[in-house]
Amino acid sequence: MRTALFLLFSALLPTQALAANQVALANDVFVERVSTDTTGKQRILLEEPKVVVPGDRLVFVLNYRNAGAQPADKFVITNPLPAAVRFADAGDTRPLVSIDGGRGWGQLEQLTVAMADGTRRAAQPDDVTHIRWAFQKPIPAGGSGKLMFRGVVK
Amino acid sequence: MMNAPVGGAKHQLLPSCSILALLAALALPMQAQAGGTRAGSTISNTASASFDTGAGTTTIDSNQVDLLVDELLDVTVDSSNPADVPTTPGATGQVLTFSVTNNGNGVENFVLSTIANAGGDNYDPVVTQIYIDNGDGVFDAGTDTLYTPGANDPELDPDESVTVFVVATTPGAVVDGNRGIVSLVAAAVTGTGAPGTSFAGQGEGGGDAVVGSTGADGTDAGAFIVSAATVTLVKSAVVTNPLGTADPIPGATITYTIVATVAGSGSVSGLAITDNIPADTSYVPGSITLGGSGLSDAVDADAGDYNGTRINVALGTVAGGQTRTVTFQTIIE
């Protein structure tokens, strides 16, 4: 059994110091493991993985912080999805997604994919290549926040 | 005072249909195969943020997180026989066909074994050999590879399948309708166990090997069904004489009737009815009938013949549930 660091979902905190940049972005990846305790109750644990296997559910957490003195306007966070990860969901953070390598963007339910026979089908989470959050208002000085999305190892 | 992130409409930029189609095609090679991301590969994630603090747009990258993909050990075995395979008592070289598939994400060898005594059937087939198919899907002991555990455990790439033949002997004591089950078991050489069991450092590409949902061993059952037939012969005789009675006096005619009844789910082949002409009687030429139709005495195209001492009717292959009726006549000397 490999050494594993178990963290409860509620205890999820930025584990990496934010850089001394004006604006910092920290990236953490956890794997969701379902464990059943002695009473048969299922608990979802977030483990900081060194290794993963196909089918593992990953939780990507992005912590941003504006450590500068000026508001950060036109704030956009983009996460290209690793090729070996299938997008699952982004909770209620409503990101824009791209299904064509970052060229076009939209809500997933608005995007369509061309089929070989000329018809179009609705885009699926499987099609997602990039995820993007575009903030409509500036991040004030000292402001911070957290974004997340889930994916599955293909 | 935080603003919720919104997928703003101003960022929406739907490309034209033709460009999207091209891009979708380009994106296809990114799809991983069914067996999953190859063991030993690294998943790297980096996000970026762009913003404007008054001095133009700045872009920063996050830290990079690298995850090594471990080898997942998964295998399935499927019987390739759509129905029970017919066999007969005492038959050798009876073949069941299976398919073994590596559902894991790394190259793996699999140990093969069979179970014939698990119950749930009427008899235990005696497994004599296991053969690895040469790729044509058809069993041929001359071209397929005889399997020896530990010596040539089949090596399968992720998603690769191999056809395996289990060769068995049917015991002589079985009877029609008996069923005999043989299961083929394939187990990952690296190890098996409960899903999640980990074998440190033994995965392809230097990671661990982790048992997947199949337990890293697979099994499926195939079955033989004994399809045998039995033959019963019933012979009767009717005497007629010129006096119009049934007395067996000289000059009386004896009509013999032989009924062959085949029972069982199988069939008998090469069935022939032969009867010697009794002493002190003489055969009535041309009197052989089969199913009411006359047969000639010569050895020729029809099924019957008389050679001076006996009659013979060749019935060939007769399936279970059928009867054949042969008659011939003699005269008491």
- Tell whether the model's pLDDT for residue B144 goes beyond 90: yes
Q: Token digits for B137?
A: 């899907």
Give pLDDT, residue B74: 94
Q: Is residue A43 part of a domain?
A: yes
Per-residue pLDDT tens over the stretch B295-326: 999 999 999 999 999 999 999 999 989 999 99
The CATH number assigned to the domain holding A46 equals: 2.60.40
Per-residue pLDDT tens over the stretch B224-263: 999 988 899 999 999 999 888 888 899 999 999 999 999 9
Query: In A, residues 74-93, which contact B (CB 8 Å cutoff)?
Result: 74-80, 82-85, 93
CB contacts of B61 in chain A (<8 Å) are 25
The three-point CA angle B77-B81-B83 to 5° equals 130
Mean pLDDT of chain B: 88
Q: How far is A128 from chain B (nearest CA, A)?
A: 10
Q: Is residue A1 part of a domain?
A: no
Are A145 and B2 within 8 A, CB to CB?
A: yes
* Residue B271 contacts residue B319 (beta carbons within 8 Å): no
Query: In B, residues 193-212, which contact A (CB 8 Å cutoff)?
Result: 198, 200, 207-208, 210, 212
Closest of B285, B291, B228 to residue B258, by C-alpha = B291
In terms of residues, how long is chain A? 154
- Residue A74 DSSP SS3: strand
DSSP-derived pairing of the beta strands B209-211 and B71-73: parallel
Domains of chain B: 72-226 (2.60.40.10), 229-332 (2.60.40.2260)
- Residue B205 DSSP SS3: helix
B52 touches chain A (CB under 8 A): yes
- Tell whether the model's pLDDT for residue A18 goes beyond 70: no
Give pLDDT, residue B297: 94
Does A38 or B88 have the greater pLDDT score? Answer: B88
CB contacts of A30 in chain B (<8 Å) are none
Per-residue pLDDT tens over the stretch B268-288: 888 999 999 999 999 999 999
Q: How far apart are CA B129 and CA B131, in angstroms?
A: 6
Give pLDDT, residue B253: 93
pLDDT-derived band of residue A10, with 50, 70 and 90 as boundaries?
very low
Q: For B208, which of A21, A51, A64 is closest by C-beta distance?
A: A51
Give pLDDT, residue A86: 94
Tell me what the mean pLDDT of segment A34-61 comes to.
84
Amino acid at B63: N
**Scanning every residue of chain B, which has its alpha carbon at the shortest distance from the alpha carbon of A58?**
B67
Give pLDDT, residue B164: 97
Give pLDDT, residue B34: 56
Q: Burial letters for A102-118: b for 16+ Cβ neighbours within 10 Å, e otherwise?
A: eebbbebeebbbbeeee
Q: Which residues pair with B163 in a beta bridge?
A: B99
Give pLDDT, residue B129: 97
Are B8 and A134 within 8 A, CB to CB?
A: yes
Give pLDDT, residue A43: 82
What is the C-alpha end-to-end distance of chain B, expressed in Å?
128
ipTM of the complex: 0.81
The gap from C-alpha B66 to its chain's centroid, in whole angstroms, comes to 45
Q: Is residue A83 part of a domain?
A: yes
- Phi and psi, residue B326, nearest 5°: -115, 135
Q: Is residue A58 part of a domain?
A: yes
**DSSP tally for chain B: helices H, then strands E:** 1, 26
Tell me what the mean pLDDT of segment B122-150 comes to.
96
* Residue A42 contacts residue A131 (beta carbons within 8 Å): no
The three-point CA angle B198-B204-B205 to 5° equals 115
How many domains are there within chain A?
1
Q: How far is B15 from chain A (nearest CA, A)?
A: 6
**Scanning every residue of chain A, which has its alpha carbon at the shortest distance from the alpha carbon of B104?**
A54
pLDDT-derived band of residue A38, with 50, 70 and 90 as boundaries?
confident
B222 touches chain A (CB under 8 A): no
CB contacts of A85 in chain B (<8 Å) are 43, 45
Question: What is the residue range of A136's domain?
Answer: 6-153
Are A78 and B49 within 8 A, CB to CB?
A: yes
Q: Is residue A93 part of a domain?
A: yes
B105: left (phi over 0), alpha (psi -120 to 50) or beta: alpha
Are B7 and A134 within 8 A, CB to CB?
A: yes
Tell me what the mean pLDDT of segment A86-97 comes to.
90
pLDDT-derived band of residue B35, with 50, 70 and 90 as boundaries?
low
Q: Token digits for B93?
A: 């070289």
- Tell whether the model's pLDDT for residue A14 goes beyond 90: no
Non-local (6+) Cβ contacts of B135 within 8 A are none
Give pLDDT, residue B3: 47
Burial of B94 (0-12, 13-18, 19+ CB in 10 A): buried
Per-residue pLDDT tens over the stretch A114-137: 899 999 999 999 999 999 999 999
Which runs of consecutive H residues, i.e. helices, occur in B9-111? 17-27
Tell whether the torsion through CA atoms of B102, B106, B112 and B116 is positive or negative: negative
- Tell whether the model's pLDDT for residue B16 goes beyond 70: no
* Residue B222 contacts residue B96 (beta carbons within 8 Å): yes
Are A153 and B37 within 8 A, CB to CB?
A: yes
**Mutate: best of A53, A113, A133, partner B, most B CBs <10 A:** A53
